[in-house]
């Protein structure tokens, strides 16, 4: 975890005071709703269906046990006893009162947390790889760079009111786990031929209403220049991004309108003047920031015989280890994914008691640290092999050991129409209905890795475009319907899914998924994942199967009704 | 007379901002008597006529958010006042325009924020190089404007470099490394 210094703490404290005054002025009628809106949004406060929603920043997903306990406390004291992990690492409370928000932010500040720029037309929370620092395929640890970007973007005066929201992701591994191709700026840490570290820079990616895979505008920006280069991108966007239509205001629309080459040329023309300026990073600053992460120093341990014995003896434990335990770069350690996708629960939800219990688990077995993943699960990054059996037992008692990571039931879902004022349709009941259909774990293992993502509207918080199967809630004459895409994927081969055809009623969705799965089973080659089969044979046979079986179901129902 | 904020204080000010009515031609617009800030289009259309006033310090030029500050490049040494208009407070183009005027175009005269200028953006405006803030006409009572001066100092030690403090925090202040427990 990055530990604040006095300046970090002061800025957050000053923010709490500022927002307390703004809220007071709003409640006193001195600030209009229009004037207050961008201010509250930049402090994470939305007005939701039932109550304000407060989105708390979890910078690049990192949390410590003290923070978890505070989140548990806030859930109990100010909310209905639970919170939601978002697809951008953040934590959302659904029921706080507006007048309580300054007090909540004060409590967060006491544990080095905040809600700064978690919404609004500004640079949002920087996201990254949950396995940063422990992944075996890491080129360079992205966390210090994320933190440097966090500090640079916090209250950046020139970029405080952009045309639209702006998301930056940093990946430092060979396998992208940060969805860099679906961000306004995606940064890949790379070494050039001279062995120097820098960034490959992508721009204009994003999901939402107009999904686009980001385009590379520089193959290599030296690390010293990364803030200067990002400033150049932001300046071109701030001056020329559209402000007449919120739906066309993201940087991707500007990049598309200008063309990637012209956009890159304008960035380069701006960058020439910023290069080597005062914001140029120094080795001393990188070292200082990296040094403020209090990572455990891990010495390799011999492989644990007890762990292997448990694997051999206990089938349920072995199943969990296979799905929820990941290799660690240091021998004798592993990373553990706690599943927030048990059956019948809103994907990504945690109760106050679970926050406390995860904090205890982290303190005992994971050096007091956890990470939120964009798949809406929680990661214990470094656990001794010898502790895994105990961690599993405890996680099971907490309902956090469903052995389904990466499987069909590890569904990414936005809060949807149950909570969100933007949603066209509910997401959570669809996720739960699909989970109910696929309860046989052996069957799920046999299907292999399958990412199913659900969004309740085209804003795509549930990342449906990059799901192997994507489900999008749409409004059809006031009725909730669901459009299905297949073939999307995250990672190095990021791709947007293709729509299979007309949308479906909510009650049809489990059957639709069954048809897709059965077509996969009938066509797959050995060791193929669902996505591999879709890539190989295309979407047509899936489409035909889904609609033929749907027609047969409707016919059978009519016959039964005669 | 309107209230402006300059050097951290509220001051009375008699500059008048000329805004063209819909369809009004720059060439025909009547200039207000006294000190005036005119749109870029008026300046460009009537430069010869207005130049002596600018040099005498009684005429300034304002830029809209959509206007390129480089259009004024050659004239900046002659101008003692340039203003940037915020059509809506949430339209942030003016921050980049101000930054470019100060950093790239080397403009050192008065830089004034006009339009929908509200206290909750004062801090950002100062950081981007505005030297005078002219709050939206009629928005604040004198007492409210007095209270609003606090917003000029919302944050004491910002992280990033900007026009007011070009160096980022890590160059301005020694920041201490983490004291780690001996393993």
Provide the number of structural domains found in chain A.
4
What is the distance in angstroms between the Cα of B53 and the nearest Cα belonging to chain A? 30
Is position A303 within any domain?
no
**Using an 8 Å Cβ cutoff, are A203 and A215 in contact?**
yes
Q: Is the domain of A140 the same as that of A265?
A: yes
With an 8 Å Cβ cutoff, are B92 and A159 in contact?
Answer: yes
pLDDT band, very low/low/confident/very high, at B179 (cuts 50, 70, 90): confident
Q: Is the domain of A267 the same as that of A340?
A: no
* Global ipTM: 0.97
What's the whole-number mean pLDDT along residues B141-170?
A: 96
Residues of A in contact with B102 (CB under 8 A): none
What is the distance in angstroms between the Cα of B83 and the nearest Cα belonging to chain A? 16
Which residue among B91, B104, B118 sits closest to A243, beta carbon to beta carbon? B91
pLDDT, position B182? 43
With an 8 Å Cβ cutoff, are A7 and B144 in contact?
Answer: no
With an 8 Å Cβ cutoff, are B97 and A235 in contact?
Answer: no
Tell me what percent of the residues of chain A surpass a pLDDT of 90. Answer: 95
Distance CA A9, CA A151 (A): 12
Q: Is the domain of A175 the same as that of A257?
A: yes
Find, in chain A, the residue whose alpha carbon is nearest to that of B87.
Answer: A243
CATH of the domain at A358: 3.30.70.3340
Residues of B in contact with A121 (CB under 8 A): 90, 92
A9 interface with B at CB cutoff 8 Å: no
In 10 A of CB A417, how many CB atoms?
21
pLDDT, position B183? 40
Whose CA is closest to B17, among B61, B73, B77? B61
B167 interface with A at CB cutoff 8 Å: yes
What's the whole-number mean pLDDT along residues B20-27?
A: 92
pLDDT, position B101? 98
Q: Is the domain of A341 the same as that of A432?
A: no
Is position A406 within any domain?
no
Q: Is the domain of A82 the same as that of A155?
A: no
Chain B residues 88-117 with CB within 8 Å of chain A? 89-93, 95-97, 99, 103-104
What's the whole-number mean pLDDT along residues B51-80?
A: 97
Residue B180 has pLDDT above 70, yes or no: no
With an 8 Å Cβ cutoff, are B124 and A157 in contact?
Answer: yes
With an 8 Å Cβ cutoff, are A160 and B95 in contact?
Answer: yes
With an 8 Å Cβ cutoff, are B93 and A238 in contact?
Answer: yes
Bridge partners (DSSP) of residue A454 are A413, A471
A10 interface with B at CB cutoff 8 Å: yes
Is position A347 within any domain?
yes
Structural domains of chain B, ranges and CATH numbers in brackets: 2-172 (3.20.20)
pLDDT tens-place string over residues B99-139: 999 999 999 999 999 999 999 999 999 999 999 999 999 99
pLDDT, position B174? 84
Main-chain phi, psi angles of A110, to 5 degrees: -65, -15
What lies within 8 Å, CB to CB, of A313 at 6+ separation is none
| Token pair of A256 as six digits | 């598309």
Find, in chain B, the residue whose alpha carbon is nearest to that of A299.
Answer: B183
Residues of B in contact with A112 (CB under 8 A): none
A43 interface with B at CB cutoff 8 Å: no
Q: Is the domain of A178 the same as that of A267?
A: yes
Distance CA A463, CA A456 (A): 10
Find, in chain A, the residue whose alpha carbon is nearest to that of B141.
Answer: A30
The percent of chain A in helix, strand and coil, each rounded to the nearest 5, is: 45, 20, 35
Residues of A in contact with B133 (CB under 8 A): none
Is position A297 within any domain?
no
Is position A15 within any domain?
yes
pLDDT tens-place string over residues A184-225: 999 999 999 999 999 999 999 999 889 999 999 999 999 999
Distance CA A94, CA A84 (A): 8
Q: Is the domain of A377 the same as that of A467?
A: no
pLDDT, position B76? 97
Number of H helices, E strands in chain B: 6, 8
What is the distance in angstroms between the Cα of B52 and the nearest Cα belonging to chain A? 32
**Using an 8 Å Cβ cutoff, are A217 and A260 in contact?**
yes
Domain residues for the domain of A206 are 127-291
With an 8 Å Cβ cutoff, are B160 and A10 in contact?
Answer: no
Domain boundary residue, one of A271, A291, A311: A291
**Using an 8 Å Cβ cutoff, are A465 and A485 in contact?**
yes
CATH of the domain at A68: 3.90.480.20
Place of tokens 């949308």: A503
Distance CA A80, CA A523 (A): 46
Q: Is the domain of A385 the same as that of A486?
A: no
- For the stretch A136-154, what's the b/e string if a residue is b when 16 or more beta carbons lie within 10 angstroms of its beta carbon? eebebbbbbbbbbbbbbbb
Could you give the 3-state DSSP secondary structure of residue A503? coil
Mean pLDDT computed over every residue of chain B: 95
Residues of A in contact with B123 (CB under 8 A): 155, 157
A219 interface with B at CB cutoff 8 Å: no
A121 interface with B at CB cutoff 8 Å: yes
**Using an 8 Å Cβ cutoff, are A216 and A201 in contact?**
yes
Domain boundary residue, one of A109, A143, A167: A109
CATH of the domain at A529: 3.30.413.10
Place of tokens 């080795």: A283
With an 8 Å Cβ cutoff, are B159 and A282 in contact?
Answer: no
B9 interface with A at CB cutoff 8 Å: no
pLDDT tens-place string over residues A99-154: 999 999 999 999 999 999 999 999 999 999 999 999 999 999 999 999 999 999 99
What lies within 8 Å, CB to CB, of A63 at 6+ separation is A1, A71, A369, A370, A371, A372
Is position A34 within any domain?
yes
State the helix-helix crossing angle for A352-365 and A388-397, rounded to 10 degrees.
Answer: 170
Q: Is the domain of A18 the same as that of A105?
A: yes
Is position A405 within any domain?
no
Interface probe for A, chosen from B86, B177, B182, B183 (most Cβ of A below 10 Å), is B177
Q: Is the domain of A279 the same as that of A131?
A: yes
Q: Is the domain of A155 the same as that of A86?
A: no
pLDDT, position A559? 87
DSSP B66-124: TS-GGGGTTTGGG-SEEEEEESSTT-THHHHHHHHHHHTS---SEEEEEES--GGGHHH
pLDDT band, very low/low/confident/very high, at B181 (cuts 50, 70, 90): low
Q: Is the domain of A369 the same as that of A492?
A: no
Whose CA is closest to A97, among A114, A74, A120? A74
Interface probe for A, chosen from B148, B161, B164 (most Cβ of A below 10 Å), is B161
Is position A310 within any domain?
no
Interface probe for A, chosen from B178, B180, B183 (most Cβ of A below 10 Å), is B178
Which residues of chain A are under the pLDDT cut of 50?
none
A288 interface with B at CB cutoff 8 Å: yes
């Amino acid at each position: 975890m990055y530990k604040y210094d006095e300046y970090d703490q002061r800025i957050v404290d000053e923010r709490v005071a500022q927002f307390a005054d703004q809220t007071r002025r709003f409640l006193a009628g001195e600030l209009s709703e229009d004037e207050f809106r961008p201010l509250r949004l930049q402090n994470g406060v939305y007005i939701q269906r039932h109550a304000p929603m407060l989105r708390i920043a979890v910078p690049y997903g990192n949390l410590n046990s003290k923070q978890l306990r505070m989140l548990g406390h806030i859930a109990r004291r100010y909310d209905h006893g639970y919170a939601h992990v978002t697809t951008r690492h953040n934590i959302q409370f659904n029921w706080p009162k507006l007048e309580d928000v300054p007090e909540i932010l004060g409590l967060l500040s006491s544990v080095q947390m905040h809600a700064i720029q978690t919404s609004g037309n500004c640079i949002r929370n920087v996201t990254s790889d949950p396995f940063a620092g422990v992944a075996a395929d890491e080129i360079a640890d992205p966390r210090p760079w994320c933190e440097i970007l966090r500090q640079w973007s916090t209250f950046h005066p020139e970029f405080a009111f952009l045309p639209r929201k702006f998301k930056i992701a940093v990946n430092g591994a060979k396998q992208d786990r940060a969805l860099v191709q679906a961000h306004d700026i995606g940064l890949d840490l790379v070494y050039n031929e001279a062995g120097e570290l820098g960034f490959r820079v992508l721009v204009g990616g994003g999901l939402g209403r107009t999904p686009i895979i980001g385009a590379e505008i520089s193959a290599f920006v030296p690390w010293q220049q990364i803030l200067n280069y990002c400033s150049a991108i932001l300046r071109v966007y701030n001056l020329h991004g559209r402000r007449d239509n919120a739906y066309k205001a993201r940087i991707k629309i500007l990049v598309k309108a200008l063309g990637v080459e012209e956009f890159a040329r304008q960035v380069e023309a701006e960058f020439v003047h910023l290069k080597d300026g005062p914001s140029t990073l120094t080795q001393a600053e990188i070292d200082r920031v990296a040094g403020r992460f209090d990572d455990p120093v891990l010495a390799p341990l011999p492989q644990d015989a007890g762990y292997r014995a448990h694997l051999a003896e206990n089938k349920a434990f072995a199943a969990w280890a296979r799905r929820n335990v990941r290799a660690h770069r240091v021998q004798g350690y592993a990373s553990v994914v706690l599943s927030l996708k048990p059956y019948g629960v809103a994907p990504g939800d945690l109760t106050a008691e679970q926050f406390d219990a995860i904090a205890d688990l982290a303190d005992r077995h994971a050096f007091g640290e956890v990470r939120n993943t964009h798949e809406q699960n929680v990661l214990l990054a470094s656990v001794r092999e010898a502790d895994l059996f105990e961690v599993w037992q405890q996680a099971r008692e907490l309902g956090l050991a469903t052995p389904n990571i990466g499987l069909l039931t590890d569904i990414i879902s936005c809060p949807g129409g149950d909570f969100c004022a933007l949603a066209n349709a509910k997401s959570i009941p669809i996720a739960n209905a699909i989970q109910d259909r696929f309860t046989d774990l052996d069957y799920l293992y046999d299907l292999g890795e399958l990412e199913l993502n659900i969004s309740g509207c085209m804003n795509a918080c549930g990342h449906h475009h990059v799901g192997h199967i994507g489900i999008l809630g749409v409004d059809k004459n006031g009725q909730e319907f669901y459009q299905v895409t297949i073939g999307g994927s995250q990672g190095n081969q990021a791709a947007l899914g293709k729509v299979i055809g007309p949308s479906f009623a909510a009650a049809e969705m489990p059957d639709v998924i069954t048809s897709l799965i059965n077509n996969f089973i009938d066509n797959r080659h050995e060791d193929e994942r669902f996505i591999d089969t879709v890539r190989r044979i295309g979407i047509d046979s899936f489409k035909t199967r889904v609609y033929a079986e749907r027609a047969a179901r409707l016919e059978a129902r009519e016959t039964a009704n005669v | 007379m309107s209230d402006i904020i300059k050097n951290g204080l509220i001051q009375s000010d008699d500059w008048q901002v000329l805004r063209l009515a819909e369809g009004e031609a720059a060439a025909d617009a009547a200039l207000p008597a006294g000190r005036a800030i005119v749109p870029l289009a008026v300046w460009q259309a009537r430069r010869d006529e207005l130049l002596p006033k600018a040099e005498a310090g009684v005429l300034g030029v304002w830029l809209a958010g959509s206007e390129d500050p480089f259009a004024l490049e050659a004239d900046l040494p002659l101008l003692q006042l340039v203003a940037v208009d915020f059509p809506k407070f949430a339209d942030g183009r003016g921050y980049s325009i101000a930054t470019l005027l100060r950093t790239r175009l080397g403009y050192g005269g008065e830089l004034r924020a006009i339009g929908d200028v509200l206290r909750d953006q004062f801090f950002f405006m100062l950081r981007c190089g505005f030297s005078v803030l002219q709050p939206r006409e009629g928005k604040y009572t004198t007492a409210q404007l007095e209270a609003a001066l606090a917003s000029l100092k919302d944050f004491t030690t910002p992280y990033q470099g900007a026009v007011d403090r070009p160096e980022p925090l890590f160059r301005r202040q020694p920041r201490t490394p983490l004291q780690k427990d001996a393993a």
